[in-house]
Structure 1
Amino acid sequence: MSIISFWSPEHGRGNTSNSAAVGAMIGLDYDIRTLIARTQFGDSSLEGAFLKSKELQLRNFAASTASGMDALERLFKTKRLEAASISNHTLSLEPGRLDLLTGTSKSYESAYEGIEHVIAAIFEEAKRYYQAIILDIEGGSTNAVSNQLLKSSDLVVVNLSQDIMSLERYISKEQWPSGLQETNRMILLGQYDPHSKYNMTNIRRKFGIKDPVFALPYCSEYRDAFNDRDVLGWFRRSRNAGRRHGSYPFFQEVRKTAKEILAQIGVNTEIKHIERGVS
């Protein structure tokens, strides 16, 4: 139903880790069909974040050309791509609620003329089946696939940091790709330090930001889970921990962010929310 693209004007601003966290939370907390995928060439970090939960299946997927983005590309080119068949080429992380589409095995975009239109068409078709499609897309303003997906996104989550020069460049729009101006946006500050002079309140005030601003605080346990390739397992075990848990602030902010994203795309979060302890 809706495409949510995680994008940043510069590389290394947390697209993948932020999209993995939000995707995991939505998949575990909400009864909606969600797809999570990446569109970068030659970067399987998103798949790696969930490897431990489905290690054998993911390894088989990675070795197979009969699944993932490349399989859907072939279906599209032979005019056999249908919304009902897309989920058959994904890996189910949370049955009925969260699917992972493995990315292309191709190493670079420039060798495939027009690939941006093919990928955009695949996700437009996927919207007929999934209520939320979370995309981890290439940062910057020169990537043709990212530019095409930004234009077709229902919401762009702009991933930034508290680095003042990076914020100034973004606010000046000097790094904006074509199409971002007219897109519904929200800002997500990753590895956020609430004690910094440049907290959310001061950033909004200094730059006159009108878009919603959210922040995910730095969390060593999440970083460990990401490096251990066990993001989903860690979320299952720890996301409902109490206030004394060291990662409680992180989970609270991921929940706020996920709820805002779903509200932005028209999901009734009160109806679709799964009661704690229900799987």
Structure 2
Amino acid sequence: MTGHTIVFWSPVSGTGTTSNLAATASVMGLEYSAHMLLLGHCESHDIALKQCFYQTHASREMDMDVSVNMGVDALLRLLQNRKLQPNMIRDYTLPLLKDRLDLLPGSSKPDDRFIDMATPWMESLLSMAKRMYDLVFVDGGSGNSSEWTNGLLRLADVLVVCLPQNRLAVHRFFRMDELQAMLTTKKHVLVFGKYDRYSSLTHKNLLRPYGRRLQTCSVSYNTRWLDDGQNGQAISYMYRNRQVPREHENYLFMRDVRALALALIEQTGLHYAFFGGKETPI
């Protein structure tokens, strides 16, 4: 049985796509038994993703240590030479949570150069990764003007569309005819990130004009998460806040991220027990 590719993507920049991905993967790594891989692939996406899990100085030292023999560049060379096997992939990753969550370093090449080289091999690489991991999370960035991005959207088993709390941006999203046609047959979740619960622009109000039943989640704006997530403390934040009471300032954020994680588990059909002794599926 192969795993599932989950692509986090946004039609516009500034919606917290990488932040949503890092939060979801972190909480799932702590609370589910799935074996997961994080993939930033392009240099720009890789930098943003690593920032969530490594402090800046540590990330710089790691970049010096992660030579051409690590990460997606090394896997692509093996794939092109027909030498890559699924059980080899872990050797080229950085473990974040033992036997739960690995990070595959992105390319050291400029984005446009990497994309030109990797596009013909993208489907094969993701297929190989899914044979080793239950879930492969991909930071798809924003916009859909490139062949690479459109390819990622097509290959996603589940597409997580990150939207801003903005009426015009939501309207433009629903005017993207090719994407909307694709979503009629593809599993997907709409996520409103950095969500302000005190705004009149609730996700229900924003989506009401489109008259469709949509799987929708919102991830509340949380200052502490934004700080910790930009200082390499994503997993630490999730660990510290797993048991916060309802009145705690971080409770809503944790509740929202768990709801998004559960939505993805349901979309993929993977029902893994929580840590803490629970043996029955959630």
Counterpart residue identity of residue 158, structure 2: L
What RMSD in Å do the two structures reach over aligned CA positions?
2.4
- Counting only pairs closer than 5 Å after superposition, residues 143-154 of structure 1 correspond to structure 2 as 143-154=146-157
Letter aligned with residue 245 of structure 1? H
Displacement after TM superposition at 1:37 (Å): 1.2
Match of 1:28 among 30, 39, 42: 30
Q: How does 1:137-176 map to 2 (within 5 A)?
A: 137-173=140-176, 176=179
Matched, 1:98 2:101: yes
Conserved in 2, the CA contact under 8 Å of 1:37 and 1:136? yes
Q: 1:2 to 1:162 in 2, by over 3 A?
A: same
Contact 1:41 1:109 in 2 (8 A): no
Q: Deviations over 1:178-235 (max 9, x none)?
A: 9555322110000111221111222232222322010001000101101222111111
Provide the secondary structure at the position in 1 that maps to 2:116. Answer: coil
Q: Tell me the distance in 1 between the aligned counterparts of 2:132 and 2:39.
A: 15
Q: Which moved further from structure 2: 230-239 or 199-208?
A: 199-208
Cα displacement (A) at 1:11: 1.9
- Aligned counterparts of 2:137 and 2:57: Cα–Cα separation in 1: 19
Under a length normalisation based on structure 2, what TM-score does the superposition of the two structures give?
Answer: 0.90
Distance 2:114 2:154 in 1: 22
**Aligned-pair identity (%):** 27
Deviations 1:139-160 (A, max 9, x none): 1111222211211111000000
Secondary structure of 1:7's partner? strand
- 2:196 corresponds to which of 193, 197, 203: 193
* Matched residue SS, 2:237: helix
Is this contact kept in 1: 2:8–2:139, CA < 8 A? yes
Secondary structure at the counterpart of residue 265 of structure 2: helix
Structure 2 residue ranges without an equivalent (≥5): none
In structure 2, relative to structure 1, the CA distance for the partners of 1:101 and 1:112 (3 Å cut) is closer
Q: Gapped runs of 5+ residues in structure 1? A: none
Please give the alpha-carbon distance, in whole angstroms, between the structure 2 residues aligned to 1:136 and 1:112.
14
TM-score by length of 1: 0.90
* Structure-2 residue corresponding to 1:263: 266
